[in-house]
């Protein structure tokens, strides 16, 4: 029985030849196993791949123990959002259109072999988006778990197709095993322009089409709302507010935190603040325990 290996298998094989470190080689071999069909014709191929991984791990142990590849990204902007999901759901295309990036896109799994970072503007702030390789039962590395657990939010992107339910169940099981908080996950259904009938699913999908640019502004707004953050603007007495550099805080943050962010020395000398916002003709006096709201303009005295 022929193996009939997919094109992405050979692309990964090429990357394997270029890999320099043991960690990179193991990661690529695991991806090759994930995309390799599972049938009698591929038994020898899979056996060889697993044997190579075992030999590499043995070599690594002799050098002083196992070292796992780790990807760590300093959080920037108003929040760090991980883009994850099954193969060919349009994750990278979504990141490209939201951030005006040009990451490589292909119609085969693992076109995105490693995490890619870009910035998504939203009104007067931006979010850090991290595109990731496909999330599969056969490929769910520890570094991806770490990224998902520490991120502020997660977009799980799925393609509108017949086996949607199975894909959702598989990835939901992975997230459950990793103890990922459900509340920070936004389920996104891409390619709705191809939908011929309504898809029934227990997940409350946010429906978009990257190709037709449907639902993208709504998605940006949903990301902002899901993070439960507020934007606050500082104002010096007698001056115009600084709208170019908003401070971003979690909902429930007090004015005292803003004072500390502006300058630590202001804390000891703080007397009161004036609050300016829509609906207020003049600045209202507020104290350090005032809970900041989105759009607040604060003048400190």
Residue 163: both structure tokens together = 């086996």
81 phi, psi to nearest 5 deg:
-120, 125
Which band of pLDDT confidence, cut at 50, 70 and 90, is reported for residue 1?
very low
Which of residues 1 and 121 earns the better pLDDT score?
Answer: 121
pTM of the model: 0.76
pLDDT of 71:
73
Is 181's pLDDT higher than 80?
Answer: yes
Query: Domains in the chain, ordered, with CATH?
Result: 7-62 (no CATH), 80-226 (3.40.50.300), 229-300 (3.10.20.30)
Q: What is the pLDDT of residues 239-262, one digit of tens each?
A: 888 899 999 999 999 999 998 888
The Cα 231–Cα 242 span in angstroms is: 12
Banded model confidence at residue 226, pLDDT cuts 50, 70, 90: very high
d(CA 301, CA 297): 13
- How much is the average pLDDT of 133-155? 85
Of residues 151 and 34, more confidently modeled: 151
Higher pLDDT, 171 or 8: 171
Asked whether 80 and 157 are in contact (CB, 8 A), the reply is no
**Over residues 163-175, mean pLDDT:** 88
Share of the chain above pLDDT 70, in %: 89
Instruction: Tell whether the model's pLDDT for residue 184 goes beyond 90.
Output: yes
pLDDT band at 29 (very low <50, low <70, confident <90, very high): confident
> Which pLDDT tens digit goes with each residue over 32-69?
887 787 777 778 888 888 888 888 877 766 665 555 55
Q: Specify the DSSP element, H or E, that contains 155.
A: strand 153-159
| Average of per-residue pLDDT across 198-212 | 79
Output the six-digit token pair for 277. Answer: 């916002």
On the question of pLDDT at 219 being above 90, the answer is yes
Query: In this predicted model, what pLDDT tens digit does every residue of 269-285 receive, in sequence order?
Result: 888 889 998 777 678 89
Is 93's pLDDT higher than 50? yes
Least confident of 136-140, 210-214, 261-265, 269-273: 136-140
- The CA-CA-CA angle for residues 10, 13, 16, to 5°, reads 160
Please state which of the ranges 123-127, 129-133, 264-268, 293-297 shows the lowest mean pLDDT.
Answer: 264-268
pLDDT > 90: percent of the chain: 35
Q: How far apart are CA 236 and CA 217, in angstroms?
A: 33
> Sign of the C-alpha dihedral, residues 10, 15, 21, 26?
negative
Of the pLDDT bands very low, low, confident and very high (cuts 50, 70, 90), residue 112 is low
């Amino acid at each position: 029985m022929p193996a009939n290996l997919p094109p992405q298998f050979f692309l990964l094989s090429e990357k394997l030849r270029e890999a320099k470190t043991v960690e990179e080689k193991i990661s690529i071999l695991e991806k090759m196993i994930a995309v390799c069909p599972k049938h009698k014709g591929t038994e020898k191929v899979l056996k060889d791949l697993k044997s190579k991984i075992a030999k590499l791990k043995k070599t690594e142990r002799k050098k002083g123990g196992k070292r796992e590849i780790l990807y760590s990204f300093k959080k920037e902007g108003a929040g760090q959002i991980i883009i994850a999901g099954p193969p060919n759901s349009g994750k990278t295309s979504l990141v490209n259109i939201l951030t005006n990036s040009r990451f490589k896109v292909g119609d085969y799994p693992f076109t995105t072999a490693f995490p890619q970072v870009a910035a998504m503007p939203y009104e007067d702030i931006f979010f850090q988006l991290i595109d990731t390789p496909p999330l599969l039962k056969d490929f769910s590395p520890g570094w991806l778990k770490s990224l998902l657990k520490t991120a502020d939010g997660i977009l799980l992107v799925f393609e509108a197709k017949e086996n949607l339910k199975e894909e959702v169940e598989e990835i939901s099981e992975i997230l459950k095993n990793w103890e990922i908080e459900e509340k920070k996950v936004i389920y996104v259904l891409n390619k709705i322009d191809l939908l011929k009938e309504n898809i029934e699913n227990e997940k409350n999908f946010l429906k978009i089409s990257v190709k037709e640019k449907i639902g993208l502004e709504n998605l940006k707004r949903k990301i902002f709302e899901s993070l439960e953050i507020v934007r606050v603007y500082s104002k010096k007495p007698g001056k115009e507010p600084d709208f170019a550099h908003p401070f971003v805080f979690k909902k429930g943050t007090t004015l005292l935190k803003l004072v500390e962010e502006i300058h630590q020395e202001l804390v000891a000398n703080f007397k009161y603040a004036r609050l300016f916002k829509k609906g207020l003709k003049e600045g209202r006096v507020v104290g350090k325990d005032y809970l900041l709201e989105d759009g607040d303009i604060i003048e400190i005295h």
